[in-house]
Structure 1
Amino acid sequence: MNTKNKPLFSEFSPVSKEQWMERVTVDLKGADFDRKLVWKNLTGIKIQPCYTIEDKITQLKNTGENSQTLVNYRTIAVTSVANGNKLALVAVQEGVNGLIFQLKETVPVAELLKGINLNEIAVSFKLKKNAVAFTKTLVAFAKEAKLKGFIDTGLISNYVTTGVFDDNEIDVIAELIKLVTYFPDFKVITISGTEYLDSGANQVQEIAYTLSSLVFLIEKLKEKGIAVQSIFDHLNVELAIGLEYFVEIGKFRAFNNLLAEVAAKYDVVDFCNTMTAKTSIWSKSVTDAETNLLRCTTEAMAAILGNVDGVLIDAYDREFKNPSDFSSRIAGNITTILREESYFGKVSNPVDGSYYIEEVSSKIAEKALELFKAIESEGGFYTAFENETIQQQIGEIRLQKLKLISQRRIPMVGINKYPNLMETVDKKLLSKGMTSNPEVLTPRRASLEIEAMRRVTEELVDQTNVRPIVQLASYGNLTMRKARAAFAYDFMGISGFDVHQEESFENANVAATESAKSEAHVVVICSSDEDYDATALEFINTFRKLNKDKVLLLAGAPKNMDELTESGLDGVVNTRADILVTLSSIQEKIQKNFKSLEV
């Protein structure tokens, strides 16, 4: 039989959406379809589990173009002009083609940029002061070059994090626009949305607030006689990249779409802004910090597929120390590998037409436009921030996120799932908790509360020179006891306790007797529901006759919880347990036991 020209999968008949739904309904055995299979994001969008040609998907316009000249940025903290130039040259040698200089004081431009080819390397500057004087010197120095990059005076960033808006900075930006007229690839208006996402906002909020702040700035600059066309042409937008891969791709595409919509309202049709994506602070961890490399990689992938012009990847250890030469180089290598070896920057708009991503993009755009209009109708960005509407809306989403993280429904490797039990962490690196000012935004890690709980353990170890030991005492049904021991091992490991591997016993009585006599400070019973029904009470009674001080837990969700608690069970660990509540309670009991031993 000749199959050379036969269409792929032609031997299979097409399956309609109706047939697919019928089969799924049978497999669900009466369970709710939406609850089981429809994914709900904190932006309020719902994503279906399957798409077919029968689905009608709205394909957004003006979602940007995959950059063929993707800029791989590295931040250079300039402590002295000589050191700044040295670090910049090292970065370029390591394959970085974009430099962001953080300047606290004005430095000689010629010395700072000595040896850097401005026709090939994008140079950007975060300026605390003297932006006009610095830019005049820069423009004079680069008059023969094709200067590209941006200037960030931190106008919006400073406002949302301090609550103080400096009107004089509008005059500064207006002057900067005039200075760089002959450098179309160099942007001097940077609008940042990173503070929103890093303070706990969702993607819809980040887009809406960023666009609203842009409109606020446009109106301010119009008062200074700056043409709207010029504002859009000199615009650089910086957005953070969050954890949700496909949603983040959709976010950048949706932002480009809505930016074009906003421009059209000002009768601006063709403009040449840039968009820079930065890996988020929110998603990073201090514990098992190398995992940040994986987060940075997926974040960079999402941003590139979302059609950004440049990517700034923070070093994986930036959250707890000054980045090392190694960590800085690894961060730069991520974008280089994605661009050169994975061809992320060489394929034109690879996600266009994907039903899943198109729907995510269109739904995010729809929700963000709705929120944007609501802000504008209530007086705009400045009014919304001054009356704390923006802060309150972000605060609500942040609390939802933190609750889901504490319940492990948002998994974060090394933080609330799969902790590295071989790792020791200096308590000084761990957060003491979060006390934020509700009047402003405070960029933060999502893990701060869990870090604070872990810090309690490390302080206890310092005080007593003893790391609490957890014993997993299992018996009964082999499959279930193994599964629950593995779950408990993962759950308890988040605390920083010394969690020992599962110990299997012949029966409940032996398990209770031996674990009560062991050196462990915490014992977790691991078995099946059937075994619990038959022997859990016996286990607890036997255990408590021998030891009244140890913390005794059970892995699972027993039906007779009240009876077991009355007999001496301290709590349970299961998929519904809140790690902060559960582990903090265990820490308190251990601390009391340690103090009683001291007396």
Structure 2
Amino acid sequence: MSTNNKTLFSEFSPVSKEQWIEKVNVDLKGADFDKKLVWKNLSKIDIQPFYNTEDKLKYITNTGQNSQALINYRNIIVESAESANKLALKAVKEGITGLLFTIYKNVLVDKLLSGINLNEVAVSFILQNNDSSFASDFFDFAEQNLNDTKNLKGYFDLQLISNYVTKGRVEDSQFDALCNVVKLGKSYPNFKTITISGANYLDAGANQVQEVAYTLNSLVYVIEQCLDRDIHIETIFNNLHIQLAVGSEYFVEIGKFRAFNSALTALGKEYGVPVKHMLTAKTSVWSKSITDAHTNLLRATTETMSAILGNVDGVLIDAYDKEFNNPSDFSSRIAGNIATILKEESYFGKVSNPVDGSYYIEDVSTKIAEKALELFKAIEAQGGFYKAFEAEIIQQQIAEIRQEKIKLISQRRLPMVGVNKYPNLMETVSLEILSSGAEGNSKVLTPRRASLEIEAIRKVTEQIVDDTKKRPVVELTSFGNLTMRKARAAFSYDFIGVSGFKVLAEQSYNDVEKAAKSSALSDSDVVIICSSDDDYDASALRFVQVFRSLNTDKVLLLAGHPVNLLDTLTASGLDGCIHMKSDVIQTISGVQKKVQKNIKSLEV
């Protein structure tokens, strides 16, 4: 260190962003900077490869505060008051600080909440039947068991918006029940009685901008209904609980929550009232998978990190096996531990607003807020949320983004570990739990996994196995340049592994004709040729000709894309190529059809 109190590295002159870009352009050797390095997010936000002090623009404000008392919820389906109470007490013992009860029928509040300290544990309820009598009983119970009315934390969710966007039905009686619940809870400032959920938007395939905008649109719709029933505007904003889903785009999701807080505050100012809302994040359905399901634990962890850094008040983390199983004690416990570990051991709940001042996150937050405001205004200009949804405008806009996402997943440009990248070939998946594909209804939104289309091709494989008692076998046959054949064999292993076929270890040969003869006469159902472009120029045609002279039934693929040879190779019997731009769903579906045809011909 300098003895003259000089700043560290002060002898180096600062480097401007323009100088950095000049240097990058030299390294790119003429390639387009924007196409190569600027990430174009599906929310139509351009994210730069680097930021510095020159990017410190006028950022949005009122992005929220990092919660020092984060509520870690566990969802409990109430089949009976006694069984639900037992699960609730167990959850609290395991460190859960918030209980969310999903109630389908009337239960006794005192039995459901027996032994639960309402002064310390947040309690929330999803009322499926919109029955405000339960709310009345609950507040009576709370009054008898609280040291102070401010201690009661949690929310009621009558699922007004959730039921409407997923089932297409909303009735005046539901709003009457909502307003009655609002009046019943007026004495409890930290318990929220108006829940607006935007989770279904993201889970139906929407991007972050759409989720923020449509949630605000649906809020305005509910506000109007409450005002018509003489609920004061300040009362509405004081009782507001918002739930958003949280996806796997780590930094963008952080920006989404911060943008929502800012946009909601701005909306409150338009109505002339301050906002005292509660914001809860729920791990998304969209990002989960049933193949290599333990990867869902990693997804849930990064999603929870995004939510906490985005300044939410609570998190609801689904069990990793929720999509195909009734969550076990283990999976429920692990899900609950995620937020606890992040908060207590990783200090996520102990540092005040750690992402504030990050140029990248500030920029993303601002862009999401700006674009969400534009979309929000556009929907309002078309008559508001209800009219836009009835006209299927919202559904169509989400469908466009959903199809774009599915295309990127099928092209493996949007990677999902265990789904379209790095499949677990040692894993067996039950035929019954695999999806046959997405069933569409343009009038409503259907929460779904992004992986449904790929699950459908895996299901075809499992059906083949179930019918024939044999799993199709893939053989990787390589020759020529060592580096390229190893690289293309590894790529093929990863690509074709998505199918659920049995993929054998790479088999290398020094002689092309020997490779062709051996693979043609083996017990495999699919053969993939792996070598370099130069080797293909010299030997690929001979390989295909020798192979087809001995076997006309097997599927024969080539790893790579030798454009100048394709017509000749195809005419000689090559079934196709697999490469970086190949569509997984289309390619594997074609392979499966020929494998099934061959199996049926053998049976005859």
Deviations 1:505-535 (A, max 9, x none): 1032221111111111100000011111111
Residue 263 of structure 1: SS of its match in structure 2? Answer: helix
Aligned amino acid, residue 209 of structure 1 = Y
Aligned amino acid, residue 420 of structure 2 = N
Deviations 1:559-597 (A, max 9, x none): 221111111100111110000000000000000000110
Residue of structure 2 equivalent to 1:24: 24
Shift of 1:4: 9.8
CA-atom RMSD in angstroms: 1.1
**C-alpha distance in structure 1 between counterparts of 2:11 and 2:535, whole Å:** 50
Aligned amino acid, residue 96 of structure 2 = V
Residue of structure 2 equivalent to 1:426: 430
The answer as to 2:311 corresponding to 1:310 is no
Residues 384-403 of structure 1: pairs in structure 2 closer than 5 A? 384-403=388-407
Residue of structure 1 equivalent to 2:173: 168
Residue 69 of structure 2: SS of its match in structure 1? Answer: coil
The counterpart of 2:475, out of the listed 465, 471, 494, is 471
Give the 3 Å change call, closer, same or farther, for CA 513–130 of structure 1 in structure 2.
Answer: closer
Aligned amino acid, residue 339 of structure 1 = K
Give the conservation status (yes or no) of the 8 Å contact 1:277–1:312: yes
**C-alpha distance in structure 2 between counterparts of 1:211 and 1:63, whole Å:** 15
Residue of structure 1 equivalent to 2:302: 298
Shift of 1:8: 3.8
Residue of structure 1 equivalent to 2:503: 499
**C-alpha distance in structure 2 between counterparts of 1:529 and 1:4, whole Å:** 61
Residue of structure 2 equivalent to 1:155: 160
Give the 3 Å change call, closer, same or farther, for CA 4–496 of structure 1 in structure 2.
Answer: farther
The counterpart of 1:232, out of the listed 231, 234, 237, is 237
Give the conservation status (yes or no) of the 8 Å contact 1:58–1:358: no
Shift of 1:58: 2.8
Aligned amino acid, residue 33 of structure 2 = F
Residues 79-478 of structure 1: pairs in structure 2 closer than 5 A? 79-129=79-129, 131-143=131-143, 144-145=145-146, 146-268=151-273, 270-478=274-482
Residue of structure 2 equivalent to 1:573: 578
Aligned amino acid, residue 51 of structure 1 = Y
**C-alpha distance in structure 1 between counterparts of 2:603 and 2:212, whole Å:** 56
Residue 123 of structure 2: SS of its match in structure 1? Answer: strand
Deviations 1:438-490 (A, max 9, x none): 10000000111100100000000011111010011011111111110000000
Provide structure 1 residue ranges, at least 5 long, that are not aligned to the other structure: none
The answer as to 2:526 corresponding to 1:550 is no
Residue 473 of structure 1: SS of its match in structure 2? Answer: strand
**C-alpha distance in structure 1 between counterparts of 2:200 and 2:5, whole Å:** 55
Residue of structure 1 equivalent to 2:38: 38
Shift of 1:11: 5.2
Residue 26 of structure 1: SS of its match in structure 2? Answer: helix
Give the conservation status (yes or no) of the 8 Å contact 1:472–1:524: yes
Aligned amino acid, residue 215 of structure 1 = V
Residue 55 of structure 2: SS of its match in structure 1? Answer: coil
Provide structure 2 residue ranges, at least 5 long, that are not aligned to the other structure: none
The ranges of structure 1 where at least 4 consecutive aligned residues each deviate by more than 6 angstroms after the TM superposition are none
The answer as to 2:587 corresponding to 1:587 is no
**C-alpha distance in structure 2 between counterparts of 1:523 and 1:132, whole Å:** 64
Shift of 1:129: 2.0
Residue 286 of structure 2: SS of its match in structure 1? Answer: coil
Residue 540 of structure 2: SS of its match in structure 1? Answer: helix
Give the 3 Å change call, closer, same or farther, for CA 426–11 of structure 1 in structure 2.
Answer: farther
Aligned amino acid, residue 185 of structure 2 = V
Residue 204 of structure 1: SS of its match in structure 2? Answer: helix
Deviations 1:375-411 (A, max 9, x none): 0011000000000000110111110000000000100
Residue 54 of structure 1: SS of its match in structure 2? Answer: helix
% identity of equivalent residues: 64
Deviations 1:139-158 (A, max 9, x none): 11111422110000000000
Deviations 1:16-75 (A, max 9, x none): 112111111111011111000000011111011111212233321010100010000000
Shift of 1:501: 1.2
Give the 3 Å change call, closer, same or farther, for CA 3–111 of structure 1 in structure 2.
Answer: farther
Give the conservation status (yes or no) of the 8 Å contact 2:520–2:550: yes
Aligned amino acid, residue 465 of structure 2 = V
Residue of structure 2 equivalent to 1:63: 63
Aligned length: 598
Shift of 1:130: 5.2
Deviations 1:148-180 (A, max 9, x none): 100000000000011111111111111111111
Residue 100 of structure 1: SS of its match in structure 2? Answer: strand
**C-alpha distance in structure 2 between counterparts of 1:375 and 1:45, whole Å:** 20
Aligned amino acid, residue 76 of structure 1 = I
Give the 3 Å change call, closer, same or farther, for CA 114–3 of structure 1 in structure 2.
Answer: farther
Give the conservation status (yes or no) of the 8 Å contact 1:237–1:274: yes
Aligned amino acid, residue 543 of structure 1 = F
Give the conservation status (yes or no) of the 8 Å contact 2:421–2:495: yes
Residue of structure 1 equivalent to 2:74: 74
Residue of structure 1 equivalent to 2:494: 490
**C-alpha distance in structure 2 between counterparts of 1:112 and 1:12, whole Å:** 67
Residue 471 of structure 1: SS of its match in structure 2? Answer: strand
**C-alpha distance in structure 2 between counterparts of 1:150 and 1:2, whole Å:** 57
The counterpart of 1:480, out of the listed 480, 484, 497, is 484
Deviations 1:95-152 (A, max 9, x none): 0000000110111111111111111100000001253111111111111422110000
Shift of 1:13: 3.5
Shift of 1:351: 0.5
Aligned amino acid, residue 506 of structure 2 = E
Residue 142 of structure 1: SS of its match in structure 2? Answer: helix
**C-alpha distance in structure 2 between counterparts of 1:478 and 1:12, whole Å:** 46
**C-alpha distance in structure 2 between counterparts of 1:30 and 1:230, whole Å:** 59
Shift of 1:2: 4.8
Q: When the two structures are superposed, what TM-score results if normalisation uses the length of structure 2?
A: 0.98
Shift of 1:558: 0.7
Give the conservation status (yes or no) of the 8 Å contact 1:106–1:130: no
Residue 443 of structure 2: SS of its match in structure 1? Answer: coil
Give the conservation status (yes or no) of the 8 Å contact 2:355–2:361: yes
Residue of structure 2 equivalent to 1:523: 527
Give the 3 Å change call, closer, same or farther, for CA 311–529 of structure 1 in structure 2.
Answer: same
Aligned amino acid, residue 85 of structure 2 = N
Give the conservation status (yes or no) of the 8 Å contact 1:66–1:306: yes
